[in-house]
Structure 1
Amino acid sequence: MLTTLAPVDPHPLPGDFVPGARNAKKRRLPSGWSTSSSRIGRRAATEPKKRLSGNRVEAFTPAEFSAFVVSNLDQVLAEVEKTRICRVEKALQRRPVVVRPDPRFQRTVLVVDVETTGTNPDIDDVTEFACLKVTINDEGKMGDVVASYSSLREPHIPIPPDITLLTNITNDDVAGKTLDVPKIVELLSDVEFVVAHNAKFDRSFCSKMIPEFECVPWACSLDDIPWHTWGLVSQNLSGLLKEVGYYHGAHRALDDCYALLEILDPRWKPLPQEPCVILYDTIQRPRVRIDARKTRFTMNGELKKRGYRWNGSGWSITVEIEEEAAELAYLKQKARTAYTIVHSETVEAKYSPTLR
């Protein structure tokens, strides 16, 4: 069992703090040990490093040190996290496409992401589309990736410079590119539902591009999962990915699909509940969307914490039918909302730009 991670600096100041050291009196070590990040790399790389072995201090070469860290990487990272001095984020590795999936997972979902020229589906257009077909079981737990597709697409308007700066997709990159629509429709044909991070945005563009997307229920990993109740302040894709211990190259469609997959089925740092199970449970029940208009300005922070989102004209939240009465009472008594609008939502119409 690894006791502590050897310091990089072999000549630190006396009495520097080393987390978890066995022979440290009041959690301090004798001169020669340090985890001070301010001096990392100050000494020559050829100098030997030090490690603890029981109560003995042993020296080893940089090559031995590197080999030790690589061969015990997961254990080293776990020990580093325990110190609470820093947090560890791994580069996200794409899960392989499996030819022979686990037979216990008989259902499928489609994880979707698009890159566009802007945010208005009436004006803007898709520049890149990607999807992953993933198996799930009867409870909604995720299994294997069984299919993957991504492609650039030439939009009907030029890509603005600020979008190119964000996505690194240029007009030259998309010139003459089209999607394999029959392949996408085939992937879509037998899925239980489609999931996207901000499904209202993705469904609007996908349905405009391929009408078959309007025939399948959609779930939203941004709105349908109670991230705020788990204390997760940042709910964008990159922020949530960091919560489960990874980072990725954001704003490319396929990378974002794999990032969303990791959030829905975290492998390294589990969440309080399995997000995909929540989505699968949610997609099977009709709900209502409550729009709260002209709320007190001082209530904005509390409404946001409660799960409301600003929709341009007011705050809105989607709840189970059984929770409607309690939510309306809250808005009337505490938020003192001027008026509310309640929209019934069928499973098929959820996040749809045309079926509401």
Structure 2
Amino acid sequence: MSGDNSCLDMSVPLRNLLNSVKCIRDRVQDGESTESNDSFSLQNFWDTLSQAVKAISQETTKLSLAFSKPPLPSPQDVETLAESIQKCILALSTVYYWLPKDQGMTLRRVVRDATTEVLDGIVQLIDIILNSPFQSLSQEQLTTTGGVWSSCDQFAHLPRDNQAAVLEALASCIGVVKDAIEEMEQAQAERHDPFSDVLDEEDLDSRGNQDTYWSESDRQLMAPCQGLMKASAACLKKLSAAVKANGKVDAPENIAQLDDLADISKEISPSVDDLALSLYPPMDYSGVEHNACKLASVLKKVLEITRACHVCLEGDLNWVQFLDGAVDHNLQKVKAMTPGSS
């Protein structure tokens, strides 16, 4: 009976810690950062944040080890561990809030997501310890502890300013668009039914040629659609090069312009995916035109914002104008091949 009471006593500070970490995590996800501060130092922010993350990793290790083998820690030891972890977590969240919005919303989202990931991992670890037999180290506990370490380690590789954060966001978009283009080219190159790898023979037979193969007019319509997709990839690559070469984080206005580029560029990859999906047979021309118009509109907006941004120097106007014309050209072709579909 006394053993049961001991386990019960130990679970109380852990449950309190669990609730505290969840509350802090929710505030980090939804809370606002501090206002602009003239004395803010980005270097000092990263140095302090790194120390906070290192402390969390160490305290998490202590907690996991305490419940990895007998003897069980005393309720007082568990209370001390819980207090230490809570102190470290509060320090991490406090430092996160130091980062003002005018240092870049893209950068802030990256730090917020990384911070939330650490807190999520600690929530999982505490939950596993509470719901596992004490004095036994489960594989799940080992895996989750390793997950917290990994989440902490990633802070060393986060972008250090908004220019780097925007470049990272653009690289992610480029990867998605490139994959969509390659998948569509592969589907076209394959002579068999593009759905043959996901349908069995009976389903293929029941679909009939009309539903499973592209007609000649379908293939003709695909050409300008793929032109729009390729223009998307070219736009992202050129924009990324301009941000890398000319992007500045020396003034709030320049930082905000980089955020605008990142935000509008994020709309490219889902628009490319929507257009690519609508090209598979049976092709609905109305849907294809709608998605082509949507992608073209996003690209025109990206180019418009780029033209007005500090990253666009005089020499960059050539590729901006060229891609603007390429978008118009391909969209006109799509509309010409889908008469009356809109």
Whose radius of gyration is greater, 1 or 2? 2
Relative to the length of structure 2, the TM-score reads 0.26
Structure holding more helix per residue: 2
Relative to the length of structure 1, the TM-score reads 0.26
Structure holding more strand per residue: 1
Whose RCO is larger (CA < 8 A, sep 6+)? Answer: 2
